[in-house]
Amino acid sequence: MLRRILQIALDTPLDKLFDYRWVSNSNTESLPASLPLSGQLALVPFGKREVMGLIVHVKDESEIDDNKIRNVIAVRDQLSPLSDDWLALCRFAAGYYQRPLGEIMLPSLPKMLRSENPVSINRALKKISTPPDTASAPAAAPALNAEQQQAVDAIVSTQKFAPFLLHGITGSGKTEVYLHAAAQLLNTSSDAQILILVPEINLTPQLENNVRARFGNVPVATLHSGLAEGERLRHWLAAHLGQARIVLGTRLAIFASMPKLKLIVIDEEHDPSYKQQEGLRYSARDLAIWRAQQLDIPVVLGSATPSLESWQHAQSGRYRKLALKARAVQDAALPAIRLINMERDKPVEGLTAGLTHALQQRLDRGEQSLLFLNRRGYAPVIACDACGWVSHCTRCTAFMVLHKSEKRLRCHHCALELRIPKSCPTCGNVDLQPLGRGTQRIEESIQHQFPDARLLRIDADSTRRKGSAQEAFDAVHRGEVDILIGTQMVGKGHDFQNLTLVGVLNPDTALFSHDYRASERLFAQLMQVAGRAGRTAQKDGGSVSEVLIQTRYPDHPMYAALIAHNYDQFAASLLAEREQAQLPPFQYQALLRAEARTLEAAIAFLEEAVDGLAHPDVTLNPAMPAAMTRVANVHRAQLLIESSSRPALQAFLKMWMTELRGMKTRVKWTLEVDPVDI
Ligand code: ADP
Ligand code: ZN
Ligand code: ZN
């Protein structure tokens, strides 16, 4: 009788593996005759439930009493096991982010793979074993320019671990570099796989279409949270079985099982969406570097405005810098960026005369304009002039935002909704005024000033329905829109052909944020949105593309760097500041967050958590209320831990986690390593 002990990772908050017994001749018929292997999924009893776990070790004996060990129900042996490399990636992530292994492994797998019933797996396996006949002629690739060619050569000639930072201005043809490098690798090896990560696939289906068209009959899988479960399973399996040669995905795809992975590409590597902001708060970019190093393959980080972390590594020589300095399309010029001083050119209904004039010009010429405003809703707050009342959310440290067309006040943090009060709740004054401007209010002003223009607003409110964002972008591409008004949703990756004006409204607030990363983000965002303009060759008699920024602080150095399109200069000045202030990337951080009924309870928990602790190389800062102190009546506090040594911080966190897990408390807490939102 064959008998083994399986150490299994389960998706539980308990930081341990669970022992189960596997017996070959048990009367459960679904048990396989072959021995189970690490990396296979196994259905096991857990309390009164049956749950799916992942076999991490196979042993002969357990340290636990035999009568306490339960039998495995079934091993999913129709599936080849997940590789040791994949297990190692999860183990690293678990260790680095201080989470139980099972909490990393299982949620990263498609839900249907984890279901009790194997029918869907068998069905999916069958379906992908006969891939649809898609053999279409691949679309022609443009000839690369010299800079692009150099970058491709550098990437494909490396046969081992090498991190590249591809720094290319917007429109310089970074995508072509990825695609050519991918094509060469696929040609030289019959089974190589390539992983391409993008920030938000839903917003950039153009890329997916380009990839599919370019590679004709090479199977491409996509992995992102917008897929239906069945699709997700099929795409995941195609990657796992080595059938998909290219996997295109969002941050979660960093955990894709790809047995023949030979290149990782991270497009727009600076984008904040590579950092997961809930549950396991991992950075897909950082994990990509680790994964590439472990597999000894190249990894390419591409951006027009790299994160300071990556830029610093490029400066120090740890990453190799590849630069694309010109726009790829002939005669496509970078847009001229100009500031409009709002102190001199006073805005009317949010628009300066300078911007209004430029909009009129574009309308006259039949060209498109984009107005960028990173604030949705009608107005961020309504107020009473008579007594000073403002529309605070009663549950959060935030204002209720006016959504005029829906006749609602909405809190964007806890989703509380109220009818707009007819009069001031405090003094009865009926004349309540909206303060400030959101996208809806700007839309109203534009409608007012340009009644014949065709407007389209794209923000989270206008695109709630599935597919509606895509429809909206298609309308812009078809030329059915004269003036597009949008939040950062419109900034990402779109190649608008007839867009010659970008107007930026009220970006100033980010310059004075409590968040030290705000100006880095603003610069990246503005560069990106500016990059939407002037992507095609200038037309005869047409205008040079322009970006007009309405600001009250025209002398701010961030704007000077922006006008000069000088990322290098801006990055250098920010890095100098960060080094002096001992902030990342010169310092490593972790944040312990606490949530409780009262602020006092949250703070008290944090103080207890560090009570009596000290470490020579780690700074434990005092507990503080979080910037958003209250959300949905939950009070939030945090405690920052810092060190100039990553190993010292990691060692401290490991020790600390054991203590934290042992604390008896009703406070909800989480530890985040490398936090970005402090
Ligand atoms: P980026 O990602 O760097 O902003 P893209 O990859 O979107 O730039 O390229 C911008 C435009 O330039 C696209 O329309 C692309 O098809 C075109 N392009 C890229 N490389 C070349 C090339 N070598 N010759 C001609 N056009 C190119
Ligand atoms: Zn009042
Ligand atoms: Zn609220």
Burial 314-338 (b: 16+ CB within 10 A, else e): bbeeebbebebebbbbeebbbbbbe
Residue bearing the CA closest to ligand 1, atom 15? 173
Domain end position, chosen among 576, 604, 623: 576
Residues 232 and 180 in one domain: yes
Residues 488 and 620 in one domain: no
Query: Residues 491-544: pLDDT tens digits?
Result: 876 778 899 999 999 899 888 888 889 999 999 999 999 988 877 666 555 557
In a domain, 427, yes or no: no
Residues 521 and 603 in one domain: no
Domain that holds residue 42: 3-107
Residues 494 and 612 in one domain: no
In a domain, 421, yes or no: no
In a domain, 442, yes or no: yes
**CATH of residue 60:** 3.40.1440.60
Is the per-residue pLDDT at 136 higher than 80? no
Of 96-110, 128-142, 180-194, 408-422, the poorest mean pLDDT is in: 128-142
Q: What pLDDT score was predicted for residue 217?
A: 81
Average pLDDT of the residues in 369-393: 95
Measured in Å, residue 238 CA sits from the centre of ligand 1 at: 29
Measured in Å, residue 282 CA sits from the centre of ligand 3 at: 27
**CATH of residue 254:** 3.40.50.300
Residues 617 and 522 in one domain: no
Encoded tokens for 672: 């985040």
Closest ligand 1 atom to 324 CA: 3
Measured in Å, residue 568 CA sits from the centre of ligand 1 at: 22
In a domain, 447, yes or no: yes
Q: What pLDDT score was predicted for residue 542?
A: 55
Query: Residues 566-590: pLDDT tens digits?
Result: 999 999 999 999 999 999 999 999 9
Q: What confidence category does residue 333 fall into, taking pLDDT thresholds of 50, 70 and 90? A: confident
Measured in Å, residue 385 CA sits from the centre of ligand 2 at: 7
- Give yes or no for residue 329 CB within 6 A of ligand 1: yes
Average pLDDT of the residues in 111-119: 89
- Give yes or no for residue 534 CB within 6 A of ligand 1: no
Alpha helices in 435-517 (DSSP H): 439-449, 468-477
Residues 258 and 367 in one domain: no
Is the per-residue pLDDT at 135 higher than 70? no
- Give yes or no for residue 172 CB within 6 A of ligand 1: yes
Higher pLDDT, 33 or 640: 640
Residue bearing the CA closest to ligand 1, atom 10? 171
Average pLDDT of the residues in 254-271: 97
In a domain, 49, yes or no: yes
Given ligand 1 and candidates 176, 271, 495, which is best to mutate, with the most ligand atoms within 8 Å of its CB?
176
- The number of the ligand nearest the C-alpha atom of 527 reads 1
Q: What pLDDT score was predicted for residue 241?
A: 95
Q: What pLDDT score was predicted for residue 138?
A: 77
**CATH of residue 605:** 3.30.70
- The number of the ligand nearest the C-alpha atom of 139 reads 1
Q: Report phi then psi at 267, rounded to 5.
A: -80, 145
In a domain, 663, yes or no: yes
Measured in Å, residue 73 CA sits from the centre of ligand 3 at: 46
Amino acid of residue 387? C
Query: Residues 24-56: pLDDT tens digits?
Result: 865 555 555 688 999 999 999 999 999 999 999
Given ligand 1 and candidates 206, 214, 329, which is best to mutate, with the most ligand atoms within 8 Å of its CB?
329
C-alpha angle 370/373/374, rounded to 5°?
Answer: 130
pTM, 2 dp? 0.93
- Give yes or no for residue 176 CB within 6 A of ligand 1: yes
Residues 56 and 20 in one domain: yes
Q: What pLDDT score was predicted for residue 610?
A: 96
Q: What confidence category does residue 134 fall into, taking pLDDT thresholds of 50, 70 and 90? A: low
Residues 153 and 268 in one domain: yes
Domain end position, chosen among 60, 85, 107: 107
Residues 477 and 554 in one domain: yes
Q: What pLDDT score was predicted for residue 565?
A: 92
Q: Which of 212, 71, 200, 288 is nearest to 493 (CA)?
A: 200
Q: What pLDDT score was predicted for residue 27?
A: 55
Query: Residues 448-491: pLDDT tens digits?
Result: 999 999 999 999 999 888 888 889 999 999 999 999 999 988 88
Q: What pLDDT score was predicted for residue 538?
A: 62
- Give yes or no for residue 175 CB within 6 A of ligand 1: yes
| Cα distances (Å, whole numbers) of residue 139 to 42, 178, 212 | 43, 16, 9
Residue 472 burial by CB count (10 A; 0-12/13-18/19+): exposed, middle or buried? buried
Residues 200 and 245 in one domain: yes
- Give yes or no for residue 149 CB within 6 A of ligand 1: no
Domain end position, chosen among 555, 576, 597: 576
- Give yes or no for residue 168 CB within 6 A of ligand 1: yes
The total number of structural domains in the chain stands at 4
In a domain, 386, yes or no: no
Q: What pLDDT score was predicted for residue 140?
A: 85
The C-alpha atoms of residue 587 and residue 648 are separated, in whole angstroms, by: 12
The C-alpha atoms of residue 562 and residue 499 are separated, in whole angstroms, by: 19
Query: Residues 598-639: pLDDT tens digits?
Result: 999 999 999 999 999 999 999 999 999 999 999 999 999 999
Write 109-114 long-range contacts (CB < 8 A, 24+).
109/41, 109/54, 109/236, 110/229, 110/232, 110/233, 110/236, 111/229, 111/232, 111/233, 112/229, 112/230, 112/232, 112/233, 113/41, 113/52, 113/76, 113/79, 113/233, 113/236, 114/41, 114/52
Measured in Å, residue 336 CA sits from the centre of ligand 3 at: 40
Residues 478 and 571 in one domain: yes
Measured in Å, residue 439 CA sits from the centre of ligand 3 at: 20
Residues 607 and 541 in one domain: no
Q: What pLDDT score was predicted for residue 635?
A: 97
| CA pseudo-torsion sign 372, 375, 378, 379 | negative
Radius of gyration of the chain (CA): 27
Q: What pLDDT score was predicted for residue 202?
A: 65
- The number of the ligand nearest the C-alpha atom of 534 reads 1
Residues 6+ positions from 131 with CB-CB distance below 8 Å: 219, 243
In a domain, 429, yes or no: no
